[in-house]
Each structure stands twice: as structure tokens, then as C-alpha cells.
Amino acid sequence: LAAAVLGGALGTVETFEPTLIASVSPPDRTARNLGSLTAFRSVGLFGANLALGVLALESAWLPYVYASVAALGATLVLLSVSAEPEARSG
């Protein structure tokens, strides 16, 4: 069940991230912003995997703590960005 939930969540993120970037970007910067999303996603995945590996060397439960904190941080960023979209349009 956990693998199914994780798969559904990953599919949702992979679908809605580019959609959100495209919807909040000015038309002339959409391609650049989507490229930046891909670049930062790649750097983030590499860094997270490296950090999780180092943490796993210390203790088996530390990667789970890291992942939980990262998920909560991402949730806070998402909520702060999507709080008032009309205020960002200028």
C-alpha cells in the first residue's frame, strides 16, 4: 500500500510541477522557467540522495527524519507560493 501511495504522489508531483510553473510564469519566460525547474530538480535529487546515503551510514532512522523535514519544508514553500496568486501578478 505504501508503494502505491508513494507512486501516486510521485506521479502527481511530476504532473503538477510543470503545470504550476507554466501557469505562473510570464509567457516569454515559460521555457526558461521549465528548464530551471528541471535543472534544480536534478541537483536536488542528487544532493538528497547523497545526504540520505551519508545519514544512513550514521543511523538507519536518520534518512527518514531528513525526508520528513524536507517534505514539511516543501509543503510550507508550496503553501506560501500559492497563498495569494493575484498579489504576485503585479
Q: Report the pLDDT value the prediction gives residue 58, as an integer from 0 to 100.
A: 94
Amino acid, res. 1? L
Residues 6 or more apart whose CB falls under 8 angstroms from that of 70 comprise: 48
Digit-coded pLDDT (tens) for 18-27: 888 888 889 9
Average pLDDT over residues 54-82: 89
Exposure on the CB side of residue 45, measured as CA atoms within 13 A: 5
6's grid cell? 508513494
48's grid cell? 538528497
Instruction: Determine if the pTM surpasses 0.95.
Output: no
Digit-coded pLDDT (tens) for 4-46: 988 898 888 888 888 888 888 899 999 999 999 999 989 988 9
Neighbours of 63 (CB within 10 A): 19
Whether 35 and 22 have beta carbons less than 8 Å apart is answered as: no
| Every domain of the chain and the residues it spans | 2-88
